[in-house]
């Protein structure tokens, strides 16, 4: 079935960009076969955005599902500026990798017991990243727990462990909370430029590159689709909106009725969530993280309400096989200065195979990620109630006034 038309056509969005930002903008779209993605050159995010500019960017994301605002000047565009920009999309969330839960890294396992604390700055990835290739590449200054450093710069102690690391598993960011993330975004600092693999890529396909990231039992076709990852440090995306509309009308009706139970830990009661979500701006429907086990060994598999665990896996593995078909895949090539935003309700993504234990800057991959939940805000600072933050934001983090400004008295 043909994908539902959004109220924002590509042509109308381009006309609005020319009128609201500049007629000199360069817009490339779509980036993927499914219609996913747009790349915009000519927007300086160091400048504070007007409400009409924010609204246009929100509309563009709801139409394209992924949006890259290219060419930010990293000598001027700080991580504080990045976090300020993120506040328009939702409330930034402290990443689990930057938190301690009961004195242990919160991302290390699924344990949910214990008080939440912000992880000391020196224990985060940023410290190892800064020590790997001193004088050649280092992180932009920051101390915000909302900023995740996504990198293969793991410190000099990793130097004797040079290896190729498997890609990750297909997932949606932090979908195991009752209020899931709306958007995530990367700021790209450094990308690998080495091309020393035999096929002219950065890396060769992994062979025996560490433990298998998936549970056993999936059929060979699904495993092949899962492992078909880009070899040049790109982030792989699958368009779950286009995949929904490719289903027959009967299949769409069936999956729209499905509720899934998601849990942080295996012994939690968890919560029921719809498998299909509707974007409030565009009205486009999409499959929201239809992955049986997106984090094997860390988070428990999800279950379809009314199905046994075995039938749940069979049903969800079938949907995962569907969304990973080539016509819905888009491998996004990063470039320094890019800010890339994606809609978590309309996509799943995966990290590529990467080199670790690197000793040359040509192999460095360094990006910063922010994720947001809740309603967008056309103006800043946001007006989230403290009770809402306490309920939905782990660690009760909110961006300080030094980043977003102060509320008018």
Instruction: Determine contact, residues 131/155, Cβ cutoff 8 Å.
Output: yes
What is the average per-residue pLDDT within 25-43? Answer: 97
Please write the tens of the pLDDT for every residue from 249-297. Answer: 999 999 999 999 999 888 889 999 999 999 999 999 999 999 999 988 7
Please write the tens of the pLDDT for every residue from 371-393. Answer: 999 999 999 999 999 999 999 99
Residue span of the structural domain in which 338 resides? 10-399
> Residue 161: pLDDT band by 50, 70, 90 thresholds?
low
The pairing of strands 26-28 and 339-343 is unpaired
Q: How many CA atoms lie within 13 A of 151 on its CB side?
A: 31
- Confidence at residue 211, expressed as pLDDT on a 0 to 100 scale: 58
The answer to whether residue 143 sits within a structural domain is yes
The answer to whether residue 262 sits within a structural domain is yes
What is the average per-residue pLDDT within 127-149? Answer: 92
CA-CA distances (angstroms) from residue 70 to 14, 39, 188, 304? 16, 7, 10, 40
The answer to whether residue 164 sits within a structural domain is yes
Instruction: Determine contact, residues 371/181, Cβ cutoff 8 Å.
Output: yes
- Confidence at residue 208, expressed as pLDDT on a 0 to 100 scale: 60
The pairing of strands 276-278 and 271-274 is unpaired
More confident residue, 297 or 74: 74
What is the average per-residue pLDDT within 56-68? Answer: 97
- Confidence at residue 352, expressed as pLDDT on a 0 to 100 scale: 93
3-state secondary structure of 390: helix
The answer to whether residue 406 sits within a structural domain is no
The answer to whether residue 409 sits within a structural domain is no
Paired with 368 in beta bridges are 149, 187
User: Has residue 99 got a pLDDT over 90?
Assistant: no
> Residue 122: pLDDT band by 50, 70, 90 thresholds?
confident
Calculate what percentage of the chain has a pLDDT beyond 90: 74
Number of domains, the chain: 1
- Rounded to the nearest angstrom, the gap between the alpha carbon of residue 154 and the centroid of all alpha carbons in its chain is 21
Report which of 254, 349, 344 is spatially closest to residue 304, judged by C-alpha positions.
254
* Average pLDDT of every residue of the chain: 91
- Confidence at residue 108, expressed as pLDDT on a 0 to 100 scale: 56
The answer to whether residue 2 sits within a structural domain is no
First and final C-alpha spacing in the chain: 52
Q: Residue 263 carries which DSSP code?
A: -
Q: What CATH number is associated with residue 138?
A: 3.60.130.10
3-state secondary structure of 304: strand
The answer to whether residue 174 sits within a structural domain is yes
Calculate what percentage of the chain has a pLDDT beyond 70: 93
The answer to whether residue 237 sits within a structural domain is yes
């Amino acid at each position: 079935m043909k994908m539902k038309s959004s109220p924002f056509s590509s042509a109308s969005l381009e006309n609005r960009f020319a009128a609201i930002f500049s007629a000199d903008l360069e817009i490339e779209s779509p980036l993927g076969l499914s219609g996913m993605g747009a790349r915009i050159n000519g927007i300086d995010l160091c400048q504070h955005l007007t409400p009409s500019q924010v609204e246009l960017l929100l509309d563009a994301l709801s139409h394209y599902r992924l949006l890259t605002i290219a060419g930010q000047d990293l000598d001027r565009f700080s991580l504080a500026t990045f976090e300020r920009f993120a506040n328009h999309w939702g409330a930034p969330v402290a990443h689990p990798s930057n938190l301690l839960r009961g004195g242990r890294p919160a991302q290390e396992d699924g344990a949910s017991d214990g008080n939440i604390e912000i992880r000391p700055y020196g224990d985060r990835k940023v410290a190892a990243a800064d020590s790997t290739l001193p004088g050649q590449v280092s992180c932009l200054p920051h101390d915000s727990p909302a900023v995740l450093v996504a990198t293969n710069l793991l410190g000099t102690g990793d130097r004797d462990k040079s290896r190729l690391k498997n890609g990750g598993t297909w997932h949606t960011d932090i979908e195991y909370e009752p209020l899931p993330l709306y958007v995530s975004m990367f700021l790209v600092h450094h990308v690998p430029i080495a091309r020393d693999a035999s096929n002219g890529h950065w890396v060769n396909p992994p062979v025996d590159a560490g433990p298998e990231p998936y549970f056993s039992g999936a059929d060979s076709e699904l495993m092949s689709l899962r492992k078909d990852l880009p070899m040049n440090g790109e982030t792989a995306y699958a368009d779950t909106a286009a995949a929904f509309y490719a289903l027959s009308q009967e299949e769409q009706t069936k999956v729209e009725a499905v509720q899934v139970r998601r849990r942080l830990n295996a012994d939690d009661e968890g919560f029921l969530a719809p498998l299909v979500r509707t974007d409030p701006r565009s009205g486009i429907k999409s499959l929201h993280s239809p992955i049986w086990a997106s984090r094997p060994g860390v988070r428990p598999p999800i279950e379809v309400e009314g199905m046994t665990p075995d039938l749940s896996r069979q049903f969800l593995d079938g949907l995962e096989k569907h969304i990973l078909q080539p016509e819905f895949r888009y491998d996004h090539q990063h470039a320094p200065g890019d800010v890339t935003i994606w809609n978590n309700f309309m996509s799943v993504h995966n990290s590529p195979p990467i080199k670790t234990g690197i000793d040359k800057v040509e192999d460095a991959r360094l990006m910063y990620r922010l994720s947001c939940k809740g309603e967008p805000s056309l103006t800043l600072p946001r007006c989230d109630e403290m009770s809402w933050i306490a309920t939905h934001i782990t660690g009760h983090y909110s961006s300080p006034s030094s980043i977003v400004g102060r509320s008018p008295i």
